[in-house]
Amino acid sequence: MKIYFAGSIRGGRDDREFYARIIELLGKYGTVLTEHVGDGAITAVGEKLPDKGVYERDMAWLGDADVVVAEVTTPSLGVGYELGKVEGKKPILCLFRKQGGMKLSAMLGGNKNMKVKEYESLSDVDGILKEFFAGLGA
């Protein structure tokens, strides 16, 4: 199974360590096409690849992916765009970490085409992923 993991890059890298751990957990279910999202060397400035290159590469990966998993705690225009591109075409799981006053976007929380799960710890994420992938027959 090919998994597209989405997480904020230019929107902020505060959750980068969570991304890296989630990517590790996702590896149990298939190939994560976007492992770089958890890379500590990538800052909020983004990658060294030109914007057009990032867009073309990521759109190709989205097309190849069987499923999309997005960590949506840190708001990101790019992640929102990616989710909109695959909505209704591929299974989508959005992970939102409950923390001090942050609220999930209503555009995600109210969308029947996306499975949204709140979590507090990485052990919660492990269980959420097991349930999600079991529901896909993985």
Nearest alpha-carbon partner for 8 in 32, 31, 42, 33? 42
Distance between CA atoms of residues 121 and 105, nearest Å: 20
Q: Is the pLDDT of residue 41 over 80?
A: no
pLDDT computed for residue 127 by the predictor? 96
Contacts of 37 (CB under 8 A, 6+ apart): 5, 6, 7, 9, 19, 23
Query: How high is the pLDDT of residue 115?
Result: 96
Report field, pTM of the whole predicted structure over 0.75: yes
Tell me the pLDDT tens digit for each residue of 60-94.
999 999 999 999 998 899 999 999 999 999 999 99
Distance CA 117, CA 135 (A): 14
Domains assigned to the chain: 2-135 (3.40.50.450)
Residue 120, both tokens: 């507090």
pLDDT tens digits, residue range 105-129? 999 999 999 999 999 989 999 999 9
The reported pLDDT for the residue numbered 99 is 80
